[in-house]
Structure 1
Amino acid sequence: MQVMLMRDASRLNSKSSFTLEPWSPEHQRQGQARVRHQQLTTASNLSRKPLSPVILSLRSIALCNRSHLPARLAPHNMANPGGPAPAPHMISRPKRAPTGDEEATAILRLGEFQQVPALNLSEARTIINAVTTRRRNIKQKVSESETLLKTQEYLELFARFKQQEHVTAVEQLLTTRTELERFERSQLGSLCPDTAEEAKTLVPSLEGKISDDDLQELLDEMMKLRNFVQ
């Protein structure tokens, strides 16, 4: 028994004694090879697994929206990697370039608005108030922006005719003067000048289109409606 114990002790001492070998470049290459093998094995296993619906949907969204990204987030030009990124998708309507030919002086040039119906201030007030009142009556939300409120305030202050029947009468009276442009008729309905001379000063394009007598007669009829309103 004593001999066996001594033999086991000597065997234990021989196993517990070891030496550290220095780290060599060969050991480093072997370690890197093992790490690379583990990475390839993991990637191979993942590639055989089906993608989740979330990942698939995210990839689909990314592919569909790639052309709609802003310029700073858009992908690079794959056909020409060194070239600029593709232009972003345009989501707003392009603005019309100003023509520069609009002029309301002695020569009336209105460009694209030449044949567009023009409203005088009283007509504009009547229409805007009617639309907003109707929307409130049907309990439709009315967006009372600052622009709308200021416009209504301006029209309430400067519209010469407030009653619907008077607005209609002035419009019918001006419509009879077919020699005048729609813009000129709307200007007369908004400004309501007292004399033909004043009217041609405020609206210079009237010169040569209507005689002073006819113009004065028209203004006098409008004056009667104004006095009736007052």
Structure 2
Amino acid sequence: MATPNLPNEQADEDASELLFPKEFENADTLLISEVQMLLEHRKQKNESKEEEQELSDVFMKTLHYTSRLLIQQKLHKFEFAAIANLCPETADEAKALIPSLEGRFEDEELQQILDDIQTKRSFQY
């Protein structure tokens, strides 16, 4: 039989209230590009073993999801991380901070990418 929650009782974890398990107290958050690089490295390491272990469905789905997000934006992993870290507001600012963007994107297309990333960022904070 479940016991009702007491008013002073606090949940162990609740992301909506920024309550996380102790393991996360000193942990840094990762960008999608960083997660994708870590997962890809783990997959390659697993494939190079003599006895390749089957990777879990969750692992593979997460790897495909992160890869798909990066491909949809047509950004290199470095560019995505730089945009996420530097937070440029305009296409001109992004091109000045990240020279590899110059010539690869029209200003309108790059501005749309920046706006999309800003929208996603606003949901995270």
Higher relative contact order (CA 8 A, sep 6+): 2
**Highest CA radius of gyration, 1 or 2?**
1
